[in-house]
Chains A and B, each alone.
Chain A
């Protein structure tokens, strides 16, 4: 079974491993994924990356294996194919990794404050929040390709992120933010903490993604005629 591993940013893709494709900025990510699907014709797409922690029990680097993905302010909810998801869960557990199977919520902006994170937690009960997963799943669903999502927590529910991050959209437009950081030493500590979170999150993904990848490679869809291959 062929597997396509994608991540929203180059930073995340590099962290996950060389097989991971960076999809680029939000407006580019959908055509990038469509192109990758057309070129590689995968049976499964693994969406990997980092997320903000909403579940207060999660620490930096904890893995969230999404059992459901929902969009903030939308009615859209998606769940992965049960069989492959359960196989993935069992494989992660057998490997002794620290992970939860929970909901993931996608919104348009970075959840910066603890108040915002608390509101998302109370409303959605999602373990993590990101900005990209939902539209990527919609592409996979449209192409009738099964998918799995593995995210790692970069900042915990009790962490307030630097204010300058509230305007973050993608890594291609980070120059303005970098300038603001330089001008604002009071935020340096928070960025150092975030860098530490990123290191732990990518470390977890490097271990977790290959496990999920192996499961995806080994799991045959029920509607697939293996003998005809």
Chain B
């Protein structure tokens, strides 16, 4: 329900082309981090702990477009840091939309209202707002009061202006299942967002609060409880049903780290969006010189408590290709995302 038909068709065509070319590894979503600077310091974030000179480094629009062309993935997720701090974020987005990339602009929405007049609604652009819970929990997780209210206001305005808006929710150990259900009902019914993304928090060693993370069995139990609800059917998730089954421990999957390659101000990050072991100078170097089989659940201790969509959604999409019947069923329940409200 949460993925627009146009995007689903383009991605399906891209996947078939890769398959026909016999490519074993190919990217699905480029994770583009044009800066690490952020205007929040969330409890569970391990992305922004860099020295000042790195925090002051931004990728130029040209570098962003070059990375996108080099990678070739049909979807680009702009993350960071807070992308809306970048002074040329509108130019970056415009260039990506011109390239017909499906852009997910991830933001905490603090600066969103300021940028809305400068961005342009497009079927290729989705604004993805970080929402970790209802007001009390969200403000606690982002360690700043008033952020929830500001994000809600910005989402309403973006929807009014005709933008496609998604939300991105990270589940931590304070995310009580009933609170998550309340959040999804609110986002789905009251705000009418076009799609919702959920993912368990990754236990970044550098995150300010190490107590917020769930271990894998706890994640499975939490997602089982959240998703085992009659309301689940109406929620418009921007995920494949296979990934949601995986989160509930009902489907065995291994990580596809190369599915979401990451280009940051430091280069092409190895091996994945969440772990920064080293950096490659080019996308080809990243794909060809990384020992991919060394990473994943069971293979690397750092992957033990990772069930994040940046590693596993690509696996889910890949398994739809391998099992066309399952793929068709999944497509039927995922595609459709016209404006919801």
Contacts and interface: CB of A to CB of B under 8 A. Distances in A.
Interface stretch (A34-42, A115-123, A138-146): A115-123
A125 B304 contact: yes
Interface stretch (A25-33, A50-58, A171-179): A50-58
B225 interface: no
B298 A125 contact: yes
Contacts of A93: 291
Contacts of A6: none
B252 interface: yes
B52 interface: no
B220 A122 contact: yes
Contact of B299 (A102, A118, A121): A102
Contacts of A152: none
A63 to B, nearest CB: 10
B22 interface: no
B297 interface: yes
Interface residues of B, number: 17
B21 interface: no
Q: Which of A100, A123, A124 has the most CB of B within 10 A?
A: A100
A60 interface: no
A126 interface: yes
Interface string B53-97: 000000000000000000000000000000000000000000000
Nearest to A115: B250
Interface in B268-309: 291, 293-294, 296-299, 304
A157 interface: yes
A118 B252 contact: yes
B253 A100 contact: no
A200 B32 CA distance: 41
Contacts of B304: 125
A59 to B, nearest CB: 12
B217 A57 contact: no
B249 interface: yes
B216 interface: yes
Given A99-B293, A123-B217, A157 B299 contact: no
A176 B256 CA distance: 43
Given A99-B293, A100-B293, A56 B252 contact: yes
A55 B296 CA distance: 10
B340 interface: no
A127 interface: yes
Q: Which of A99, A121, A124 has the most CB of B within 10 A?
A: A121
B209 to A, nearest CB: 25
Contacts of B252: 54, 56, 117-118, 121-122, 157-158
Q: Which of A101, A103, A125 has the most CB of B within 10 A?
A: A125
B299 A56 contact: no
A158 B323 CA distance: 12
Nearest to A123: B217
B49 interface: no
Interface residues of A, number: 22
Nearest to A100: B293
Contacts of A100: 293-294, 296, 299
Contact of B254 (A56, A99, A124): A56
A24 to B, nearest CB: 29
B294 A125 contact: no
Given A55-B254, A157-B252, A101 B299 contact: yes
B299 A127 contact: yes
A144 to B, nearest CB: 26
B216 A126 contact: no
Contacts of B254: 55-57
Contacts of B294: 100-101
Contact of A56 (B217, B220, B253, B293): B253
B298 A126 contact: yes
Nearest to A57: B254
Contacts of A103: 298
A53 B48 CA distance: 38
A166 B291 CA distance: 36
Interface in B205-236: 216-217, 220
B312 to A, nearest CB: 11
Nearest to A62: B293
Contacts of B297: 55, 121, 125
Nearest to A104: B298
Nearest to B255: A57
Given A54-B252, A55-B254, A56-B254, A102 B217 contact: no
B216 A122 contact: yes
Contacts of A56: 252-254
A57 B322 CA distance: 12
A56 B293 CA distance: 13
10 contacts: A54-B298, A57-B296, A101-B294, A101-B299, A102-B296, A118-B249, A118-B252, A122-B216, A127-B298, A157-B252
Given A56-B252, A118-B250, A125-B304, 4 more contacts: A54-B298, A100-B299, A121-B252, A125-B297
- The list of the 3 closest CB pairs from A to B, nearest first, reads A125-B298, A57-B254, A56-B252
Interface of B: 216-217, 220, 249-254, 291, 293-294, 296-299, 304
